[in-house]
Amino acid sequence: MPQLPEDIIDRLNKMDRRIKALSTAVNTRPAVSEIRPPAQTGSVTVNRPLFRIFDGYSHEIFADDIMTGGLARPWLALLPPQTVDKAHWPSTTSTTFTTVARSFNPIWQPKLRLSVETGASANATGEVRVLVDGQPFGSPVTAGSTFNHTGLIPGDMNSRFGQIMQIEIQAKANGGTVYAQPVLIYGTQT
């Protein structure tokens, strides 16, 4: 066996120690459960990296806003303030289920939470129900009670991610008028 120069053996030993140190550092790195921004001073410009998270299907499910801070994705729609005067709520006098309110929303989460206040005019009775993409969402409620339901959105979440769903509030009355006003809506996890 040929004789190797001593400096090559020393160099190989140093490389072996460095590889072991790197391997140890990589394998003992703490889980990414906390993210801290880089330290900044008034005179130093810091380039902030874009932070993005993807699900198992390569959908971007989270991103920060590198320009002003905060959340970039998913963007979260907020329900505007609603009138408390039932006379101005969506309503119907129909004796069959009739759509009184409709909205279109992107699908970001597999579940939907929806709360609808309902009411009826004097001596009237009726029901309120919700459809998501034409399918019943929760159980109908008697007018005068609150519809409050959290449930899965119809269809396969993976194939529908980012697409638009249609939400309809329907009501029917038995003599008089039935009112329905959405007061809370958001997507949520399983």
pLDDT in tens, 5-31: 678 888 888 999 998 888 776 666 555
Q: Which amino acid is at 164?
A: I
Among positive and negative, which fits the CA dihedral 134, 136, 142, 145?
negative
Contact indicator for 88, 161 with CB cutoff of 8 Å: no
Lowest mean pLDDT among 69-78, 111-120, 169-178: 69-78
The percent of residues above 70 in pLDDT, for the chain, comes to: 82
pTM check: above 0.75: no
CA–CA gap between residue 116 and residue 182 (Å, rounded): 4
pLDDT in tens, 120-133: 999 999 999 999 99
Residue 158 burial (C-beta neighbours within 10 Å; 0-12, 13-18, 19+) = exposed
Tokens of residue 56, six digits: 């198992």
CA–CA gap between residue 145 and residue 156 (Å, rounded): 31
CA–CA gap between residue 172 and residue 139 (Å, rounded): 14
Under the banding of pLDDT at 50, 70 and 90, the label for residue 4 is low
Provide the 3-class DSSP secondary structure of residue 79.
coil
Contact indicator for 182, 114 with CB cutoff of 8 Å: yes
CA–CA gap between residue 51 and residue 70 (Å, rounded): 11
Contact indicator for 181, 89 with CB cutoff of 8 Å: yes
